Structure 1
Amino acid sequence: MSIIAVGSAKASPGVTSLSAGLGLSWEETTGRRAVLVEGDGDGGVLAARFGLAQTPSLLELAGTGRQEMTISRLQANSQLLAGQLPTLVAPGCGETTTRVLSPIASRLADGLHRSDEIDAVVDVGRVRSHSPAAEMIKRCDLLVLVAQPRFDHLVPLVHQARRMVAQDIPTALVCVGDRPYPPTEMAKASQLDLLGVMAHDPRVNQALGGGLPSDRRHRRLLLWRTLAELVLRIHNRLQIPAAKHADSNAPAHALWGANTGNCL
């Protein structure tokens, strides 16, 4: 199993939406099953945003105590997002999430890595040294940092990218929107590969709530094509050593075309 952590250096500008979108598109694009894990130290929002129940959740999983973290135990405490994606939701309270996730994060990462058939997308929210998901970030196969192309996001992005490189954590960038700065400039300044650009559009969550369309014609909509491209780039990146990654900044802006607002 591969663990793909999705987080941000400042606030969470699209982290949850991107995490859900990657999870929903994963199996269709890679042929491998996926599970979505919510590990945001500021508290979970997946249940409220996508109409899921408060339980089962991370709280019930943590209640299994010192038992081995298996995929079957994880699935038993998960819910189906849009009726499709097994999702382990976190409590809405940040203090509760921190209290229950911190002691089990390392064992949870070990359990996820032991499965050969399922990949995990982990929404870690804001990436911080004291995050309850810190151990999962350290053990991830790729950290996807999400940022808006603005100066107030660039400064913390650069610092966070340097910190991840210093810890030898493979890291790449996804921008939300393409203004006011070109996403390629954000990637250049942070020295991160730019995987792609997502639209800054509230309709994205509405579309994700409906799940991956069963009609293949609807999968050609820009949102789902973009997510499939991102999944493919991530999946391909995981197949080769990090040192061999070429600069992918040039073609990345084409994922949304000239107008990133017209995503649906």
Structure 2
Amino acid sequence: MLIAVCSLKGSPGATTLATALGACWPTQRSPVVVEADPAGGDLMARFRLPDTPGLVSLAAAARGRGGADPNLLVQHSQPLPGGLRVVPGPVGAEQARAALAVLASGGSSPLRRAADQPDIVVIADCGRVDPGSLALPIVRGADAMLLLARPHDDELAHVALKLQAAQQWSRRPCLVLVGDGYPTAEVSQTLQIPVMGRVPADTKGAAMLSGQGTSRRGAGKSALGRAAATIALNLHAHGHQPTTTDGSRPPHLRLAVVGESVPGVPPQRVGPHIRNGATP
């Protein structure tokens, strides 16, 4: 199973959510998290990882072998302190784009080949995606696309404006809301897209996942970890749904909404500028 985590505007925390999903995955075998952000990666700096193996070495190996080896992805991953395996992207955007130009070309990327193996889950952090993004082929080939957005006027207006195009990238697009703002159900109804869940703006939880280990024991104790665990469970359940007669999986994910309301904060109403996809 290949899961793409991305955004349409800003930096709402795709890397943090990708690592949280991996750390909270509901099976004994953890997923492999790949930093496929054309703007460059964060994991090397956050965890003080060596620059190889990683996305650059994976691209070099894929060029040499044509990416045919399904074990290639794991071979170019590194373990984080808690055991989660990651393929860190280079810090520089130029190197990241060059690697993605190799990995996303052709009919099947090393990410897709690995994800096609039994019980292998690949979570790709694709960063901010637009029609010209070098990570777009990875998103198009994913089994599920999680679009992150903060439920505020400015970000939701941009999401509404670009959503029609983004929905063509994946048969299973779902929104993940980050932090406080408009109610979950209203955002889903207004934008006409399923909301997989709501991730809190959990500074302490994010700090743990960004440099103080990502063990299964500790990841689920924070508010961020609990929200990520619910989303991971939903994705895992969908990945094990029976296939249809034509060999495909059902197009819609079963929703498990997280954090519907924020205590003490009166609900807001989604404005007409968001409904119409107009920037305020």
> TM tier, shorter chain?
0.7 to 0.9
Higher Rg of the two aligned structures: 2
Cα RMSD of the aligned pairs, angstroms, is 2.4
- For the pair 1:100 / 2:120, whether they are aligned, the reply is no
Mapped contact 1:30–1:232 kept (Cα < 8 A): no
Aligned-pair identity in percent equals 29
CA contact (8 A) 1:39 1:97 kept: yes
Q: Over residues 78-124 of structure 1, what are the superposed CA-to-partner deviations in whole Å (9 max), with x where a residue is unaligned?
A: 11122411110111111211111122224224322332121000000
Letter in 2 for 1:137: V
Bigger fraction of residues in helix: 1
Give 2:246's aligned residue: none
- Kindly provide the CA deviation profile for residues 199-229 of structure 1, in whole angstroms up to 9, marking residues without a partner as x: 11332322213212537xx844433322211
**Cα distance in structure 1, aligned partners of 2:216 and 2:33:** 18
What residue is the counterpart of 2:186 in the other structure? Answer: 185
May I ask how many residue pairs the two structures share in their alignment?
A: 251
Unpaired runs of at least 5, structure 2 = 242-248, 266-280
Output the CA distance in 1 between the equivalents of 2:207 and 2:80. 13
1:67 lines up with 2:65 in the alignment? yes
Cα deviation per residue 1:46-99 (whole Å; 9 max; x = unaligned)?
Answer: 111233222221111111224143343222221112241111011111121111
Question: What TM-score do you get using the length of structure 2 for normalisation?
Answer: 0.80
- Post-superposition Cα deviations, 1:182-213, rounded to whole Å, max 9, x if no partner, equal 23322222222111111113323222132125
Instruction: Please tell me whether the aligned partners of residues 139 and 170 of structure 2 are also in contact (alpha carbons under 8 angstroms).
Output: no
Q: Does residue 1:130 correspond to 2:132, yes or no?
A: yes
Match of 1:222 in 2: 223
Report if the CA contact (8 A) 2:31-2:121 is conserved. yes
What does residue 212 of structure 1 align with?
215
| Secondary structure of residue in 2 paired with 1:252 | coil
User: Would you say 1:258 and 2:263 are equivalent positions?
Assistant: yes
Change (3 A) 1:3 1:168: closer
Relative to the length of structure 1, the TM-score reads 0.85
The one-letter code matched in structure 2 to 1:67 is R
CA distance in 1, matches of 2:112, 2:138: 9
1:119-167 Cα distance to aligned partner (Å, 9 max, x none): 0000000011221211111100000000001111112212333113234
